[in-house]
Structure 1
């Protein structure tokens, strides 16, 4: 006998049926919320000025479902996937782009490998200079 499983999402704000799961990040933590179309639009509108002024952080390879994969239509909008890439940073800090750190270190005559892991001391110096 065949079975059919139906999953219905409920809007986490108002109840009722949700249209999508929206994933977003704040202070180093990822969140998901199920919203109807109107509430999803309100959330995106409220976040729009911050998204426009912010910098996108690429998702870490292999971050899996925690990065919002398969979270539904539009789930990746404004989401910060994965964890911070630099071990020198705490969960509340966003790791800078390694290419930018490497370029800064080279322009400041710091010893930094052309490939591979950037030493913690280089990230710390970059952070202090910023």
Structure 2
């Protein structure tokens, strides 16, 4: 007997199934960052509702991705996750906790590399 498990990503708003190329929609309001999975129609509706406000608004500060530096691609994250004991499906969205763990690992490696370059200070 074989067991087959299937993961289906669905809209956070309507629970409708999403296509494999759907990407989360990210936005910020009052300093809080949000991410939501939407169907293509729901995303168009959201963007249409926000358009008058976006047209009248001005951008301020830096965008998060400018401060964070380069991010890993999905295949890089999947390879890192597999090498570090995380079990992920071969397709679909990569959970935020895996992205965060990868980010922490990269920062730790960068700090360790810098510390290796420093000369010890002693008496």
TM over 0.5: no
Structure 2 length as normaliser, TM-score? 0.43
- Calculate the TM-score normalised by the size of structure 1: 0.41
Highest RCO, 1 vs 2 (Cα 8 Å, sep ≥ 6): 1
